[in-house]
């Protein structure tokens, strides 16, 4: 006999009794950096060995399951959208929603951030009254679509049993994977199991898009994030997806189930405008080439003007030109250094496999952060940095290495020597980086030889 307090009775009691007792719900975090498998097979869900002991409603004809599809939001963590599963028991009058998008931040922001970067992401199932869930999306101003799942009574029973299994203490928490095990794929997998593999069997065809394509499309409203993700992710996300894999996206799951006639009674619960696309971060990076080329037109050769000075090149109108050079270099050094630092850290310490062996490390180096003091000096003083010939040689050597690495990147991209998608970065980001390196090496420093009198 099963105790009334056993985990197997929780779902049954939730659907039969009020008031509800549920997990607190936090925002669903949709970020990046995920390991990608070469081919995603049908999930092998853990077996439920004691199905006969799970309490069930008396009449599954009076139990309905609804797919809730929530549109993208205007925050980093909700730009893929969200999926939840609504369960309505007409006999008991209960109405609850299952949400696999919860995470625990009680460990503190620093510990949570470290766990996230290291690849430790434990998410959990939360269950709450549907009215509460709708209120949340109303506050976030996100469109919600509802569709009734077309299921036979025995299919409803299998889905119900899986949800009961998921409510057990040992099954509530799961290792979150943004592409292959998230709040949407959980619903997909459980529906597929209830239908005996019908969803997987009808969605094995490749689609034109890659994972990178979907990431870029869904972050079009946040250009800095879209550009950063394009830099930080390696070739593992450049494989073409199958229809099954594409259903990590809520709207793709809904479209696929509609195409299989597994949904009916479509309803728009609430409707808001989707966040608009903004000017591309790639294009904005490309525009940096314009001021860099203008600064090239201001390069002037100077001869020896005083004891200790050496011939070289400077920028005309230094009060303006060097401040512009400083502003551009400061932006580039910050972005390049931070991106490089994340990629190196990820490669060495993170379980996020798409941070490993990233060819974009040819362009973005953690050591570029050391250029920040130099950039600030140009920005604040408006003059070339006066330095010794030895230090000048070191700066030139560093910049020559940067230029050679950028040229190697260009060759790899032009001749398609890698599976990693480098095209947009090669077209828009590489040119200003390359020309800026040449400009800084040419006119950024004024070597001064030390004079001694004996």
The answer to whether residues 412 and 289 belong to one domain is yes
| Cα 316 from chain centre | 43
The model's pLDDT over 247-261, given as tens digits with 9 standing for 90+, comes to: 999 999 999 999 999
The answer to whether residues 155 and 114 belong to one domain is yes
Nearest to 125 by CA among 160, 81, 171: 171
Q: How many domains in the chain? A: 2
Inside any domain, residue 440: yes
pTM for this prediction: 0.84
- CB burial class (10 A; 0-12, 13-18, 19+) of residue 380? exposed
Best-predicted range by mean pLDDT (45-54, 97-106, 330-339): 330-339
Inside any domain, residue 331: yes
The answer to whether residues 114 and 250 belong to one domain is yes
The first and second tokens of residue 206, run together, are: 């490749």
Which SS3 state, helix, strand or coil, does residue 25 take? coil
Mean pLDDT of 332-360: 92
Dihedral sign (CA 193, 199, 200, 202): positive
Average the pLDDT over each of 2-6, 17-21, 306-310, 357-361 and give the range with the smallest value. Answer: 17-21
The answer to whether residues 88 and 159 belong to one domain is yes
Confidence of residue 38 (pLDDT cuts 50, 70, 90): very low
Distance between CA atoms of residues 286 and 432, nearest Å: 7
The boundaries of the domain holding residue 328 are 281-447
| Residue 331 scores a pLDDT above 70 | yes
The answer to whether residues 219 and 330 belong to one domain is no
Q: How many other C-beta atoms can be found within 10 angstroms of the C-beta atom of residue 423?
A: 12
Q: Are 329 and 436 in contact (CB under 8 A)?
A: yes
The answer to whether residues 264 and 334 belong to one domain is no
Read off the DSSP letter of residue 375: H
Give the H or E element holding residue 157: helix 153-166
Inside any domain, residue 276: no
Inside any domain, residue 452: no
The answer to whether residues 233 and 288 belong to one domain is no
Q: Which of 238, 270, 302 is the C-terminal boundary of a domain?
A: 270
Distance between CA atoms of residues 269 and 325, nearest Å: 52
| Residue 33 scores a pLDDT above 50 | no
The answer to whether residues 365 and 237 belong to one domain is no
The model's pLDDT over 188-237, given as tens digits with 9 standing for 90+, comes to: 999 999 999 999 999 999 999 999 999 999 999 999 999 999 999 999 99
Inside any domain, residue 233: yes
Distance between CA atoms of residues 167 and 127, nearest Å: 9
Best-predicted range by mean pLDDT (42-56, 58-72, 304-318): 58-72
Confidence of residue 17 (pLDDT cuts 50, 70, 90): very low
Residue-averaged pLDDT of the chain: 87
Confidence of residue 448 (pLDDT cuts 50, 70, 90): confident
Nearest to 167 by CA among 126, 122, 121, 123: 126
The first and second tokens of residue 310, run together, are: 């050496």
The answer to whether residues 259 and 289 belong to one domain is no
Average the pLDDT over each of 113-117, 134-138, 391-395 and give the range with the smallest value. Answer: 113-117
Q: Are 48 and 8 in contact (CB under 8 A)?
A: no
The answer to whether residues 302 and 361 belong to one domain is yes
- CB burial class (10 A; 0-12, 13-18, 19+) of residue 244? buried
The answer to whether residues 136 and 245 belong to one domain is yes
Give the H or E element holding residue 64: strand 63-70
């Amino acid at each position: 006999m099963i105790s009334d307090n056993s985990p197997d009775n929780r779902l049954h009691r939730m659907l039969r009794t009020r008031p509800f007792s549920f997990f607190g719900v936090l925002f669903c975090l949709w970020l990046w950096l995920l390991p990608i498998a070469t081919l995603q097979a049908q999930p092998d869900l853990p077996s439920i060995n004691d199905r006969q002991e799970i309490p069930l409603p008396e009449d599954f004809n009076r139990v309905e399951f609804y797919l809730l599809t929530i549109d993208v939001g205007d925050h980093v963590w909700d730009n893929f959208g969200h999926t939840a599963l609504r369960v309505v028991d007409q006999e008991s009058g209960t109405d609850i929603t299952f949400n696999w998008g919860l995470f625990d931040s009680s460990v503190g922001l620093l510990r949570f951030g470290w766990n996230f970067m290291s690849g430790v992401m434990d998410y959990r199932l939360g269950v709450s009254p549907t009215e509460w869930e709708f209120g949340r999306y109303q506050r976030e101003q996100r469109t919600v679509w509802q569709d009734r799942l077309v299921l036979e009574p025995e299919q409803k029973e299998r889905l119900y049993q899986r949800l009961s299994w998921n409510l057990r203490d040992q099954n509530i928490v799961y290792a979150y994977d943004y592409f292959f095990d998230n709040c949407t794929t959980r619903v997909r997998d459980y529906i597929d199991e209830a239908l005996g593999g019908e969803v997987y069997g009808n969605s094995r065809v490749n689609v034109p898009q890659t994972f990178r394509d979907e990431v870029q499309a869904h972050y079009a409203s946040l250009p800095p994030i879209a550009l950063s993700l394009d830099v930080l992710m390696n070739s593992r996300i450049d494989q073409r997806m199958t229809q099954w894999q594409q259903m990590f996206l809520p709207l793709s799951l809904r479209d696929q189930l509609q195409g299989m006639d597994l949904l009916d009674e479509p309803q728009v619960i609430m409707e808001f405008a989707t966040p608009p696309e903004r000017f591309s971060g790639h294009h904005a990076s490309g525009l940096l080439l314009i001021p860099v080329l203008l600064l090239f037109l201001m390069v002037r050769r100077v001869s020896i003007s005083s004891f200790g000075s050496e011939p070289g090149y400077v920028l005309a109108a230094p009060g303006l030109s060097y401040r512009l050079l400083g502003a551009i270099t400061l932006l580039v050094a910050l972005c390049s250094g931070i991106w490089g630092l994340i990629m190196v850290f990820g490669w060495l310490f993170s379980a996020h496999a798409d941070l490993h062996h990233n060819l974009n490390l040819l362009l973005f180096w953690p050591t570029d952060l050391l250029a920040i003091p130099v950039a600030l000096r140009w920005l604040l003083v408006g003059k070339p940095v006066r330095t010794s010939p030895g230090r000048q040689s070191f700066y030139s050597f560093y910049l020559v290495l940067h230029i050679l690495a950028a040229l190697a990147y260009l060759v790899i991209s032009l001749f398609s020597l890698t599976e990693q998608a480098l095209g947009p970065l090669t077209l828009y980001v590489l040119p200003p980086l390359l020309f800026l390196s040449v400009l800084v090496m040419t006119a950024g420093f004024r070597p001064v030889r030390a004079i001694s009198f004996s």
